[in-house]
A and B are shown apart, each in its own frame.
Chain A
Amino acid sequence: MVPVPTACPFCACGCGFYLLANQGGLVGVAPSETHPVSLGRLCARGWSAHEAPLWGNRLRQPLVNRNGKLESASWVETLDHVAGRLKEIIDAGKPVGVLGSARATNEENYLAGKLARAGLQTNNLDFSYQSICGPLFTGLEEVGGEATAAISLNDIESSQTILLIEGDLATTHSRAASAVMAAVEKGAHLITIGYTRTQMSRLASLLLPTTPGKEGEVVDGLLASVLNLGLEDRAAVDARCEGYDALRRNLEGVEITAEMRQAAEWIARATRATFLMPPLSGERNPSRRVAAALATLAAITGHLGRPGSGLLPLLARSNVRGACDMGVAPDRLPGYRPLDDQEAQQRLQDLWGKKLPSTPGLDAEGMLQSVSALIVLADDPPSDLPMGHRAMAALEKIEYLVTLDAFLTPTALTADVVLPIASFAETEGTVTSMEGRVQRLHAAVDPPGEARPGWQVLADLCARFELPTAYHAASDVLSEVGRAVPKYARVGQSEDKWGGIGTAKAPNGGKLRLFVAEAPRQAPAEGTHLLVRDGTFDWGRDPLVSFSPTLCRDYQSQRKLFPNGFVEMCKQDADGVGAHPGRPVKLTSVHGNAVVPLRVRPDLQPGVVFVPYAFRDYLVNVLGTESVTAVKVEQA
């Protein structure tokens, strides 16, 4: 059995482990005590990481749709066909686009961006999860500039206070939850903001209750508490923060509770404090506003830039941060620089030898609805985008759809051309965790059939658009990334045995812009309850979970038992409307209505109705394009 070190492909905690290979096949996973993030620990997903590449429905040869049927073809023939058709479509003046992926490597995402911008001459470049995490990053930038996360999961363990905007950390990011637990065990104060009694909130010293979409009001309350009680770190504010007076004015009249005062004290008095925030649900994506407010709270209490303290965005997929760093966004260049950043633009033009398009492109949803040709790299919009199955309908209408993937996803099933690429277990490359650690993947086995590493396929496509592609190995692509994104230049020189290196920039010395945007004005709710789309990611539809015999079970069982989805309410609410568990309820909003089975969930707050992200399609009439909406609930 050969142990091959690699980075975990699931969430963005950035764990590492050994894949075990025997006679050319994957047989298991072994934890590592020397890995600086995992330290010998893995979550359930990590322990089953070898399963999907082995058991999954793998793509083995290039396939081309001829007369409605996918037929196998040679690599050269297929790539020529793809380049030829794309050129025809572009020459006809029709829009084209590229989707990168939070489950593809940095090298693959970088080349996807190069192909889009320099090859296809378009900024129509995005990935499904970008619309969800983008606003969070923007909010953080508004306060700290380029500097975002400057805290590691290990730092969390020695925090004295942890403020967690709670989705369900124990299941979404078990390694981060583990760090929080370790801190709590040592006596740290855990403060959770949320509307469900989750596992983490049950371990908390203090729960600051909120309603969906109103997390920002609690953070405002904490900010106001800090100012009212005079708890701000004067030295930090005077030396580094701008906009203090405006902040005071903006927070006048904000409601403060006794719990908020207590929480503010714990945060301000801590030598080391951690702030954790996932992307949020809510009207017009409140993540940007809440992230800015949370960063402001960290800044005025002196925790932004202080070693061991900081703010960490909780990202769902392993390489969300890397995809953003590679500039896979319609309005960002590599380095996550704005599209009009002259310096970044010049660097890319020098590297790629082409002038780049300057107008912002379409985002993922926009592309699905309007491009004539779309290249999808290891992304699956129907599973990942909030628009759910409407993405499937949109994909089917696209004139020419090319998919690069290791697995037969719903997107691959509708594609005109399928290019089989290696899974994480069969390729070299790097991924970037949510704490900014860039880590190496190593191939433990060969890709199945004729599948090839994604970076090679993308390089071959780039070459067909006359772009320089002298890459002999994935590390050559990484060297080029280092020239396009200066903070990645050191990645190859890591002395860490796992080949990891931190890229997060601590906001040392730089100015922090304190900032609280006006609270969004909400239309008066016409309904008895708030329907919430819970979560921002559905692991059950991710190929690494859905193709793993161990990991797919809960999700499959739930889909089998509830083929038409369900909504969840607390018992008190169910009794209130006379609804029975397992029986359908009717939900009506301004957008429309739907009838779905009800499940009773004990940890929900009264007044809230949950629809899991996995079942969002069944509530599309009620939610419209929102993620939180007022509804009337009645017996069906």
Chain B
Amino acid sequence: MVYTLAREGTTQWLDKLLEAGEVIAPVRGPCGDVIFSALRSPTQVVWDFENPLPAPKQYVLPQTDPLVKIKLNGQRHEVEPLYDDAPRTLFNVRSCDVKGIAFLTRMHEAEPADASYLRRARNLTIISLACTTPCPAGFCTCTDSGPFLSAGYDVQLTDLGGTFLVEVGSEKGEAAIAKAPDLFRRASEDAVTQRKGLEAVAKTRFGPETCHFGSAMRRVSTGRVQDALWEKMGEWCLECGGCNMVCPTCYCFSVKDLRQNGTWVRCRMWDSCQYTAFTLEASGHNPRANRKERIKRRFFHKVSAQYYTRDSTVGCVGCGRCVKTCLGSTHMPAVVAAIRKGKWHE
């Protein structure tokens, strides 16, 4: 169904959503950054923003994720799974991040399914805000993940000026609308046409970043990237792991037990395939001891045909966050271009 919602109506709708659970939305922080945070009041929501650097994946796959509580009871260890079931709404997320969460969910649904992740994801309602102005570092048209979505959202909002066009894409979306049914009107033909027009214009307003995945995928998958090129690119990586941390589709982790008041809590923590120790074995052997091997692994995973066949998408949603956060210069568009051209910084 497609509705319209008056701009003034968003406050009442958000009030209703807040009654039902936590609402995570872009909020301007104390130092001026816009960050996805738990909303205290509808007035905090930012409507005009460039996609925040920390991805909202934090709310399905937290950086520190408690999985199991372990207690010693006499001689026995008691294990209690920990779940985060809280109903949560992600409000005003961008199209690329909706695709990112869909990617993560697909991966965590695959057998053996990840119960901890899925509880969070299934209790999450995603209300996205289509991008009428693409962000400067974004290249989501190259990854089919924006600036507007045709599916995958629970609700997609498009800012038409005084009103929002509200597209509902799932039962969870219907339920979100049903919390304040009086606010929503059936959308007119004009409103739908206006949305289409905005999408067409948005597609022409992208910045300089492009990412030709097709040819890069062919080269990566057929082993046609010279080792010397990986080595050269590796020299421009400072192993910060930032690309992994901000990436909406990265999910690699390590596990560690946290001692807390006489119990242990087993936590999953974000990890980076660019860290030497990520694949370090107890013997001291490291199958990916050099930077060139690690960077090769990352881009093989992100752009090889093997994963494309399985997921029917590259492991990138074109959000451009790695462009912003890369401490060196080995972000996605730069590396894909180098693979395609067989040259780096020449």
Q: Could you tell me if A47 and B62 are in contact, using CB atoms closer than 8 angstroms? A: no
**Would you give the shortest CB distance from A59 to chain B, in whole angstroms?**
14
Which of chain A's residues have a CB closer than 8 A to the CB of B37? 1-3
**Would you give the shortest CB distance from A104 to chain B, in whole angstroms?**
24
0 or 1 for each of A9-20: is its CB under 8 Å from B? (1 = yes):
000000010101
Question: Is A88 engaged at the interface, CB distance under 8 Å to the other chain?
Answer: no
Which of chain A's residues have a CB closer than 8 A to the CB of B284? 557, 560-561
Which of chain B's residues have a CB closer than 8 A to the CB of A16? 31
Within 8 A of B (CB), among A290-332: none
**Would you give the shortest CB distance from B31 to chain A, in whole angstroms?**
4
**Would you give the shortest CB distance from A27 to chain B, in whole angstroms?**
4
Most B Cβ at <10 Å: residue of A202, A203, A557: A557
Q: Could you tell me if A54 and B242 are in contact, using CB atoms closer than 8 angstroms? A: no
Q: Could you tell me if B240 and A557 are in contact, using CB atoms closer than 8 angstroms? A: no
Question: Is A387 engaged at the interface, CB distance under 8 Å to the other chain?
Answer: no
Which of chain A's residues have a CB closer than 8 A to the CB of B325? 31, 40-42
**Which of A172-180, A276-284, A459-467 is near enough to bind chain B?**
A172-180
Contact of B277 among A182, A185, A199, A554 (CB under 8 A): A554
Q: Could you tell me if B38 and A47 are in contact, using CB atoms closer than 8 angstroms? A: no
Q: Could you tell me if A202 and B235 are in contact, using CB atoms closer than 8 angstroms? A: yes
**Which of B8-16, B267-275, B303-311 is near enough to bind chain A?**
B267-275
Which of chain A's residues have a CB closer than 8 A to the CB of B239? 44, 174
Contact of B33 among A33, A41, A553 (CB under 8 A): A33
Q: Could you tell me if B271 and A41 are in contact, using CB atoms closer than 8 angstroms? A: no
Whether A32 touches B240, Cβ cut-off 8 Å, given contacts A41-B325, A557-B280, is no
Q: Could you tell me if A43 and B327 are in contact, using CB atoms closer than 8 angstroms? A: yes
Q: Could you tell me if A178 and B242 are in contact, using CB atoms closer than 8 angstroms? A: no
Q: Could you tell me if A203 and B235 are in contact, using CB atoms closer than 8 angstroms? A: yes
Contact of B240 among A30, A44, A182, A553 (CB under 8 A): A44
Which of chain B's residues have a CB closer than 8 A to the CB of A54? 64, 258
Which of chain B's residues have a CB closer than 8 A to the CB of A594? none
Question: Is A231 engaged at the interface, CB distance under 8 Å to the other chain?
Answer: no
Q: Could you tell me if B29 and A181 are in contact, using CB atoms closer than 8 angstroms? A: no
With an 8 Å Cβ cutoff, the count of chain A residues facing the other chain is 49
CA distance A54 to B258 in the complex (A): 8
Q: Could you tell me if B242 and A557 are in contact, using CB atoms closer than 8 angstroms? A: no
CA distance A549 to B58 in the complex (A): 19
Question: Is A29 engaged at the interface, CB distance under 8 Å to the other chain?
Answer: yes
Which of chain A's residues have a CB closer than 8 A to the CB of B240? 41-44, 46-47, 174
A-B pairs, top 10 by smallest CB distance, nearest first, are A28-B63, A553-B277, A30-B54, A549-B256, A34-B32, A497-B31, A561-B284, A178-B327, A27-B64, A43-B240
Question: Is B42 engaged at the interface, CB distance under 8 Å to the other chain?
Answer: no
Question: Is A535 engaged at the interface, CB distance under 8 Å to the other chain?
Answer: no
Given known contacts A27-B63, A42-B325, what 13 new A-B pairs fall within 8 Å (CB)? Answer: A20-B58, A31-B53, A32-B33, A34-B31, A41-B240, A43-B238, A43-B240, A47-B272, A51-B269, A174-B240, A174-B327, A181-B328, A554-B276
Most B Cβ at <10 Å: residue of A40, A177, A553: A40
Q: Could you tell me if B327 and A175 are in contact, using CB atoms closer than 8 angstroms? A: yes
Which of chain A's residues have a CB closer than 8 A to the CB of B33? 3, 18, 32-34
Q: Could you tell me if B30 and A1 are in contact, using CB atoms closer than 8 angstroms? A: no
- Bin the interface of chain B by size: 35 or more
Question: Is A408 engaged at the interface, CB distance under 8 Å to the other chain?
Answer: no
Which of chain B's residues have a CB closer than 8 A to the CB of A28? 58, 62-64, 270
Question: Is B241 engaged at the interface, CB distance under 8 Å to the other chain?
Answer: yes
Contact of A549 among B236, B254, B276 (CB under 8 A): B254
Contact of A31 among B246, B275, B328 (CB under 8 A): B246
Which of chain A's residues have a CB closer than 8 A to the CB of B245? 47
**Closest B-chain residue to A45, C-beta based?**
B240
Contact of A18 among B29, B236, B277 (CB under 8 A): B29
CA distance A467 to B16 in the complex (A): 57
Question: Is A550 engaged at the interface, CB distance under 8 Å to the other chain?
Answer: yes
CA distance A557 to B258 in the complex (A): 20
Q: Could you tell me if B31 and A5 are in contact, using CB atoms closer than 8 angstroms? A: yes
Whether A18 touches B258, Cβ cut-off 8 Å, given contacts A41-B242, A497-B30, A550-B275, is no
Within 8 A of A (CB), among B325-341: 325-329
**Would you give the shortest CB distance from A179 to chain B, in whole angstroms?**
10
Question: Is A337 engaged at the interface, CB distance under 8 Å to the other chain?
Answer: no
Which of chain B's residues have a CB closer than 8 A to the CB of A44? 239-241, 272, 275
Which of chain A's residues have a CB closer than 8 A to the CB of B329? 181-182, 185
Which of chain A's residues have a CB closer than 8 A to the CB of B324? 33, 40-41
Which of chain A's residues have a CB closer than 8 A to the CB of B126? none
**Closest A-chain residue to B232, C-beta based?**
A202
**Closest A-chain residue to B291, C-beta based?**
A199
CA distance A175 to B238 in the complex (A): 9
**Closest B-chain residue to A26, C-beta based?**
B64
Which of chain B's residues have a CB closer than 8 A to the CB of A560? 284
Contact of B269 among A1, A20, A22, A549 (CB under 8 A): A549
Q: List 20 A-B contacts (CB under 8 A).
A: A2-B37, A26-B64, A27-B64, A28-B58, A31-B54, A32-B29, A33-B324, A35-B31, A42-B240, A42-B325, A50-B63, A55-B256, A174-B238, A177-B238, A181-B328, A182-B329, A550-B254, A553-B275, A553-B280, A561-B284
Question: Is A170 engaged at the interface, CB distance under 8 Å to the other chain?
Answer: yes
Which of chain B's residues have a CB closer than 8 A to the CB of A33? 33, 53, 324
Contact of B241 among A26, A47, A55, A177 (CB under 8 A): A47
Question: Is B35 engaged at the interface, CB distance under 8 Å to the other chain?
Answer: yes
Question: Is B76 engaged at the interface, CB distance under 8 Å to the other chain?
Answer: no
0 or 1 for each of A550-570: is its CB under 8 Å from B? (1 = yes):
100110010011000000000
Q: Could you tell me if A3 and B272 are in contact, using CB atoms closer than 8 angstroms? A: no
0 or 1 for each of B134-167: is its CB under 8 Å from A? (1 = yes):
0000000000000000000000000000000000
Which of chain B's residues have a CB closer than 8 A to the CB of A34? 31-33
**Closest A-chain residue to B274, C-beta based?**
A44
CA distance A377 to B236 in the complex (A): 39
Question: Is B77 engaged at the interface, CB distance under 8 Å to the other chain?
Answer: no
0 or 1 for each of B18-37: is its CB under 8 Å from A? (1 = yes):
00000000000111110101
**Would you give the shortest CB distance from B344 to chain A, in whole angstroms?**
11
Whether A3 touches B275, Cβ cut-off 8 Å, given contacts A27-B63, A30-B54, A55-B256, is no
**Would you give the shortest CB distance from B266 to chain A, in whole angstroms?**
12
Question: Is A471 engaged at the interface, CB distance under 8 Å to the other chain?
Answer: no
Q: Could you tell me if A29 and B63 are in contact, using CB atoms closer than 8 angstroms? A: yes
**Closest A-chain residue to B62, C-beta based?**
A27
**Closest A-chain residue to B275, C-beta based?**
A44
Which of chain B's residues have a CB closer than 8 A to the CB of A177? 238, 327
Within 8 A of A (CB), among B235-261: 235-236, 238-242, 245-246, 254, 256, 258
**Would you give the shortest CB distance from B108 to chain A, in whole angstroms?**
19
Which of chain B's residues have a CB closer than 8 A to the CB of A50? 63-64
Q: Could you tell me if B31 and A498 are in contact, using CB atoms closer than 8 angstroms? A: yes
Which of chain A's residues have a CB closer than 8 A to the CB of B326? 41
Whether A32 touches B241, Cβ cut-off 8 Å, given contacts A174-B327, A553-B280, is no
**Closest A-chain residue to B65, C-beta based?**
A27
Which of chain A's residues have a CB closer than 8 A to the CB of B64? 26-28, 50, 54
Which of chain B's residues have a CB closer than 8 A to the CB of A29? 63
CA distance A182 to B236 in the complex (A): 10
**Closest B-chain residue to A175, C-beta based?**
B327
0 or 1 for each of A38-69: is its CB under 8 Å from B? (1 = yes):
00111110110011001100000000000000
**Would you give the shortest CB distance from B249 to chain A, in whole angstroms?**
18
CA distance A55 to B31 in the complex (A): 27
Q: Could you tell me if A5 and B29 are in contact, using CB atoms closer than 8 angstroms? A: yes
Which of chain A's residues have a CB closer than 8 A to the CB of B258? 54-55
**Closest B-chain residue to A5, C-beta based?**
B31
Which of chain B's residues have a CB closer than 8 A to the CB of A32? 29, 31, 33, 53
Which of chain A's residues have a CB closer than 8 A to the CB of B328? 178, 181
CA distance A27 to B35 in the complex (A): 15
CA distance A549 to B329 in the complex (A): 27
CA distance A86 to B268 in the complex (A): 47
Which of chain A's residues have a CB closer than 8 A to the CB of B345? 185
**Closest B-chain residue to A170, C-beta based?**
B238
Which of chain B's residues have a CB closer than 8 A to the CB of A20? 58, 63
**Closest B-chain residue to A200, C-beta based?**
B235
